[in-house]
Amino acid sequence: MLLNELSAADAARRIAARSLTSEALVEACLERIARRDGEVHAWAYLDRERALAEARLRDREPARGPLHGIPFGIKDIIDTGGMPTEYNSPIYRGRQPKGDAACVALLRRAGCVILGKTVTTEFATNHPSQTRNPHNAAHTPGGSSSGSAAAVADRMVPLALGTQTGGSVIRPGAYCGAAACKPSFGSINRAGLKFVAESLDTIGVFGRSAEDLALALNVLTGRGLAEPVAATSRPRIGLCRTPRWRDADGETQANLERAARQLAAAGAQVSDFELPSGSQDLFDRHAVVMGYELARALAWEHAMFPEQISTSLMPRIEAGWRVTRTEYDEVREIARACRRRLAERSREVDFLLTPSAPGAAPASLASTGDPVFNRAWTLLGVPCVTLPFGSAASGLPLGAQLVGAFDEDMRLLAWAHWAERELAAR
Amino acid sequence: MLLNELSAADAARRIAARSLTSEALVEACLERIARRDGEVHAWAYLDRERALAEARLRDREPARGPLHGIPFGIKDIIDTGGMPTEYNSPIYRGRQPKGDAACVALLRRAGCVILGKTVTTEFATNHPSQTRNPHNAAHTPGGSSSGSAAAVADRMVPLALGTQTGGSVIRPGAYCGAAACKPSFGSINRAGLKFVAESLDTIGVFGRSAEDLALALNVLTGRGLAEPVAATSRPRIGLCRTPRWRDADGETQANLERAARQLAAAGAQVSDFELPSGSQDLFDRHAVVMGYELARALAWEHAMFPEQISTSLMPRIEAGWRVTRTEYDEVREIARACRRRLAERSREVDFLLTPSAPGAAPASLASTGDPVFNRAWTLLGVPCVTLPFGSAASGLPLGAQLVGAFDEDMRLLAWAHWAERELAAR
């Protein structure tokens, strides 16, 4: 196995055992990027010399944390000191923030090495970026964390940060065949993040495995790793088709039901799970909340540089200005009520199993795909994990999404680790 | 009455009637600042020429909103395009953000004129700023929105934006004798605000009267003005002494009880209101949430420029790093439970009456005073208004705080308008 293909957990174990240096790992990643990024376009900015210099520093000191010396990609919507942060908008070309966002500072503090900035779609919204799906360059990688998903899936870097406001972590993770986690709202500090919709924007992580994601969340949230799930355990899984099941294509429906059967064969008690009343609204009216906040968050850009805003984003901003405060407050109130109801219902199951996306990555670069199976969970603030599972007839990866109870991120990742093993074994 | 002494509502009415120009109003404010700011030190930055030029532009166009042509001060923790934003930290001296924060862009969109930046304490925390209390320069103006409170109270500007994480809007408002409102969490979009503690930071407004605050919130939140309260109405007021009543000095206790008696004489049904169980914790453990988030929000500054962080802030950051995630999550969970309980109890009353601060502004420039009567409300996310009422033996102003139900900001301001009139009448 090439060094750039190591999972973060394996690489960290080797670094801790002094059988691998951070420098060699960073070099392997940089070589992979040099070889592949001309096709994938996952990176907005790289500072090879700084990354290597920092890796050498990390190699000379005692471990600061469980991911000491591990390279990270940072979505270019998150501030980084000494590296530009441009939000993939011409308005911000050449912008150099003074310092690191809180999440980046936390990674550095724990000994991680920031490799560079991964491509975001424009302001982390829907206008397609230059990034291609690493499995097939004619397909979208999804968005808005396009670069982070593609870079991790293409073995350019073991871990990367993304953000999700609608479906921007879970969907590109599934499309590219990476594991990814959007933790609970409030899990990872957002100071230094450019806001799209502040009541929704959630920082998340892409990695090779549930174990990698758990290590990253341990560093980023300070929460301890959950006890591993015993091989003999019989989780209660809620199979949640959601009110939008018909939006999933046949492959996705069959694939998710196959995942449920495999987990049942591994000992799980699988039952159908219907979301609490009112949840339908969250699927239908997420755009009310996102649009209202988006228009305000980008009010300055919209007023000053309308001609530098893409033709995808402009109508969304304009729609956002048309949302009334009453309508916005109403959907927020529905979301709060649904959060309470779902929290009560969450005791019935250990986790939910639900589609990550309506299908594999579409054969198009004109759209980043549909976040229909992500938006309601973002609005509910609950933790979500996508695991690569199965593949489409096109050869592109499919995924399965696990959803946990609010603030139980680490418990969900322990179940995801169990599910990943059982899904691979059968 | 000098033009700079007009309330925003009165000035806006005159501008709408074409009996006053925005230019004349801005000029009067600038003259007052030129005369007084050498003593008060409320302003971190002023752009006289730009403000006058914008006022002239506003005078030539139709009204964009209910505060068309009204000047505003912006706390220097909020980004402004074309004006520096330095957070009162040497680390950020000379920092020029590219664009306006969402709240500033909303003000401009509504025709307001940004006069300049008001002094914040360092990163909107507790290290005293250069600002003095306009009533007595030996007394603190409070913090962290020191400049906004002092500028509005000293008639330098009719309205100004502040932020509250502990007690940074209501306390300086009361100390300086300004009306002020910390709206519900989520009312005013925070894109472009430098975060101290993202789950607490709330943008608020200083003004001359409840009516001024309501107009500002109308512009900033898009919520309609509430129906005025009829003179014959008999509000149900909960007199909430809080678990920390003994921290209030005798003058403050007597003053609040006098306010309650006056409002009862005006027809209100006043009854004692005890906060729901668990709330004691919010008074005692706000620092757990604020400290945890503060350390992370300023992780980069702390790692790179420790010598440029004040001796007041440094121990708070260090204390924040010592808070465990478990403790932090526990207090957040208590706060969520208390929010639900308070929302149920809120139906019993129209608003709560409670101290704005434990006393008048202390005769000291070494501290910004004690946010003991503010922190729990910030953590609860409910709207708070302070109205000037009474004065201390020292001659400094006292205040009374009104607290409403979550998201009922406009209703609370209608009650505050009623209370202001009844308190002044008797």
| CA gap B348, A281 in Å, rounded | 30
> Is a pLDDT exceeding 80 seen at residue B259?
yes
Handedness of CA B19, B24, B26, B30 (dihedral sign): negative
CA B322 to CA B10: how far, in whole Å?
50
Strand duo A384-391 + A397-403: pairing = antiparallel
Q: Where does the pLDDT of residue B55 fall: very low under 50, low under 70, confident under 90, or very high at 90 and above?
A: very high
| Structure tokens that stand for A69 in this block | 């010396």
- Residue B232's pLDDT is what? 84
Inform me whether the C-beta atom of residue A351 falls under 8 Å from chain B C-beta atoms: no
User: A106 contacts in B (CB within 8 Å)?
Assistant: 296, 299
Query: If you average pLDDT over residues B129-151, what whole number do you get?
Result: 97
Dihedral of CA atoms B351, B354, B357, B361 in degrees, nearest 10, equals 90
Q: What is the pLDDT of residue A26?
A: 98
Q: What is the amino acid identity at position B179?
A: A
- Residue B407 contacts A, CB cutoff 8 Å: yes
Residue position matching structure tokens 């512009």: B219
Measured between beta carbons, which residues in chain A are less than 8 angstroms from residue B87?
none
User: Cα–Cα distance between A239 and A352 in angstroms, integer?
Assistant: 6
Looking at the predicted structure, is the pLDDT value of residue B426 above 80? Answer: no
Whether B297 sits inside 8 A of A191 (CB atoms) is yes
Q: What is the DSSP string of A93-140?
A: TT---SS--HHHHHHHHTT-EEEEEE---GGGSSS--S--BTTBTTS-
Shortest distance between the Cα of B152 and any Cα of chain A, in A, equals 26
Q: Where are the domains of chain A?
A: 1-273+349-426, 279-332
Encode chain A (426 residues) as per-residue pLDDT tens digits. 899 999 999 999 999 999 999 999 999 999 999 999 999 999 999 999 999 999 999 999 999 999 999 999 999 999 999 999 999 999 999 999 999 999 999 999 999 999 999 999 999 999 999 999 999 999 999 999 999 999 999 999 999 999 999 999 999 999 999 999 999 999 999 999 999 999 999 999 999 999 999 999 999 999 999 999 988 889 999 999 999 999 999 999 999 999 999 999 999 999 999 999 889 999 999 999 999 999 999 999 999 999 999 999 999 999 999 999 999 999 999 999 999 999 999 999 999 999 999 999 999 999 999 999 999 999 999 999 999 999 999 999 999 999 999 999 999 999 999 999 999 986
**Once rounded to an integer, what is the mean pLDDT over residues B43-48?**
98
pLDDT at B341: 96
What are the pLDDT digits (tens) for B334-345?
Answer: 999 999 999 999
The single residue of A145, A146, A168, A184 carrying the catalytic annotation is: A168
Say whether A106 and B299 touch across the interface (CB within 8 A): yes
Q: State mean pLDDT over B367-383.
A: 97
Q: What is the pLDDT of residues A168-194, one digit of tens each?
A: 999 999 999 999 999 999 999 999 999
CB spacing of B296 vs A108 below 8 angstroms: no
Flag if A325 and B108 touch (Cβ within 8 Å). no
Chain centroid, CA B129 distance in Å: 16
Return the closest-CA partner of residue B120 out of B96, B151, B81: B151
The C-alpha of A408 sits at a distance from chain B's nearest C-alpha, in angstroms, of 11
- Which of A7, A22, A75, A279 is flagged as catalytic? A75
Considering only the beta carbons, identify the residue of A102, A186, A300 that sits closest to B299. A102
Quote the pLDDT of residue B1.
84
Residue A265 is predicted with a pLDDT of 96
Q: B154 pLDDT exceeds 90? A: yes
A98 catalytically annotated? no
Residue of B nearest to A186 (CA): B199
Is A293 in Cβ contact with B189 (below 8 Å)? yes
To the nearest whole Å, the CA of A16 is away from the closest chain B CA by: 24
- Which fold would CATH assign to domain A1-273+349-426? Amidase signature (AS) enzymes (3.90.1300)
* Marked catalytic residue, from B168, B209, B310, B346: B168
Which of A95, A221, A328 is closest, CB to CB, to B325? A221
Q: Quick check: is A168 catalytic? A: yes
Catalytic residue among B7, B75, B184, B346: B75
Confidence of residue B207 (pLDDT cuts 50, 70, 90): very high
pLDDT of residue A126: 94
Q: What is the 3-state secondary structure (H, E, C) of chain B?
A: CCHHHCCHHHHHHHHHCCCCCHHHHHHHHHHHHHHHHHHHCCEEEECHHHHHHHHHHHHCCCCCCCCCCCEEEEECCECCCCCCCCCCCHHHCCCCCCCCCHHHHHHHHCCCEEEEEECCCHHHCCCCCCCCECCECCCCCCCCCHHHHHHHHCCCCCEEEEEECCCCCHHHHHHHCCEEEECCCCCCCCCCECCCCCCCCEEEEEECCHHHHHHHHHHHHCCCCCCCCCCCCCCEEEECCCCCHHHCCHHHHHHHHHHHHHHHHCCCEEEECCCCCCHHHHHHHHHHHHHHHHHHHCHHHHHHCHHHCCCCHHHHHHHHHHCCHHHHHHHHHHHHHHHHHHHHHHHHCCEEEEECCCCCCCCCCCCCCCCCCCHHHHHHCCCEEEEEEEECCCCCEEEEEEECCCCCHHHHHHHHHHHHHHHHHC
B304: closest CA of chain A, how far (Å): 9
Q: Is B226 on the interface with A (CB under 8 A)?
A: no
Cα–Cα distance between B220 and B183 in angstroms, integer? 11
- pTM over 0.90? The answer is yes
SS3 A324: coil
pLDDT at B318 over 80: yes
Chain A residues inside the 8 Å CB shell of B340: 340
Taking only residues 145 to 164 of chain B, the set having a beta carbon closer than 8 angstroms to any beta carbon of chain A reads none
Question: Considering CB atoms only, which of A95, A99, A298 is closest to B300?
Answer: A99
DSSP letters, A41-81, are --EEEE-HHHHHHHHHHHHTS---STTTT-EEEEETTB--T
Average pLDDT estimate for B393-415: 97
Question: What is d(CA B350, CA B267) in angstroms, rounded to the nearest whole number?
Answer: 13
Whether residue A89 lies in the annotated active site? no
Query: What's the CATH code, domain B1-426?
Result: 3.90.1300.10
Instruction: Name the nearest CA neighbour of B24 among B52, B49, B54.
Output: B52
Q: Best of A288, A293, A300, A339 to disrupt the B interface by mutation (most B CBs within 10 Å)? A: A300
Identify all chain A residues contacting B293, using CB atoms and an 8 Å cutoff: 189
Size of interface A-B (CB pairs under 8 A): 105
pLDDT at B277 over 80: yes
- Substitution target in B57, B189, B199 with the highest count of A β-carbons within 10 Å is B189
